[in-house]
A and B are shown apart, each in its own frame.
Chain A
């Protein structure tokens, strides 16, 4: 399975952009990159995903390098409510239809400062 590497923690000033990096150097051609976040002990929340093109939605932007070995999640205007653990995950398709699994790493603990 492809693995991801993220910095353990980051701080960001409220209102500024938060840029969270992720390395996935062993990613294969059909593996998507997903980002989730977990606030306190709540269930992880889906943020965004991409294969090779940059993606944007109402929550964030995802920038994937051309070689797909790394990506950056951008929260354009971080708020205190964005304080959470952010997980970068590569989803792997297994054998047989509908066989997938996420392997969560330790994530990046983002603290947004007032």
Chain B
């Protein structure tokens, strides 16, 4: 069982739809991450939140809009996606790297498999 929960597990949407991906963790982690993963490839970092503030945006197109409403939740809002956006979207969380937390691994959810028609 993973400690990071992502919903939905699968999502099929048209290019004009608006949908949201959700991620939740209750491990007290203050860093949360969104990754995009294509089949058999490594995850690509999209966004990083620390203390509910956006710290890193890897030049992600504006059709992806992240949101961190509180320390346990992370959302990814989707609008007007393209077929090439079809992928597995992974959420991860970790302690922030300070003091005793300076080397803690990221914990990943099982992802949302997104298909754009």
- Do A and B come together as binding partners? no
> Using a CB–CB distance below 8 Å, which chain A residues touch chain B?
none
